[in-house]
Amino acid sequence: MKPVVAAAALLVAHFTATSVSGTAARTCGTVTATNATYSGPSMTIRAHSAIDARTGMGVVAGTLKSPTMTAQFSAVYDHGAISGTASGSMGARTLIASLSAVFSPQGGFTQGVIGVRGSGGSLAVIPACAALPQKLLRHVQGIITSVNASEVTIHGLTCAVPLKLGIGVAVNYPIRSWAAMTCSVSNGVATLVTIRAKR
């Protein structure tokens, strides 16, 4: 019997979190890693970011907490904007959603949206009685065996590369180099969320 999943695509949450506290940062070459807490009217975000000033690319990950939701998220940072996924709970229900925002380590999150509608994103609320998908995100690390602007393969996992990440992946992650990546899986299709090279 297939699990019953209730998809509530009309649920879209907007957030801002620009009050910054507890900041700790360190720099390695052109990459700056920052840990901080960002607070707003209805959202508190604890986030770790690692951003390369040379390429304008990076990753942002952490936790989201509001009066109605608790979730973890991971996202790609691209010249001031982030795009990724969040997973957590809304009361007794499980939340799986896309996430986007304008972000800076010093200024926090603005124009934040969870469950973007009409832009390739979605939000699904799964009843507590429904079985959960076994794999929503896949994490692999190893040698890149194939790469171009549209897809990348590591350890047998091939992930489609979103258009805005294509050039950066093709240029900065050559074949036979080591990398770790996270891909979201939907309807059997894996799509790159984050990738990082061995430092």
Q: Which residues pair with 156 in a beta bridge?
A: none
pLDDT over 60 (residue 6): no
Residues 167-184: tens digit of each pLDDT: 889 889 999 999 999 888
Q: Is the pLDDT of residue 1 over 50?
A: no
Report field, pTM of the whole predicted structure over 0.85:
no
For residue 52 the two structure tokens come to 């390369």
C-alpha closest to that of 73 among 53, 46, 50, 54: 46
Q: Find the range with the poorest average confidence among 37-41, 59-63, 115-119, 144-148.
A: 115-119
DSSP state of 196: E
Mean pLDDT of the residues in the chain:
81
Give residue-wise pLDDT tens across range 72-81.
888 889 899 9
Give the residue carrying structure tokens 């990082």: 196
DSSP string, 154-194: ETTEEEEPPGGGHHHHHHHS-TT-EEEEEEEEETTEEEEEE
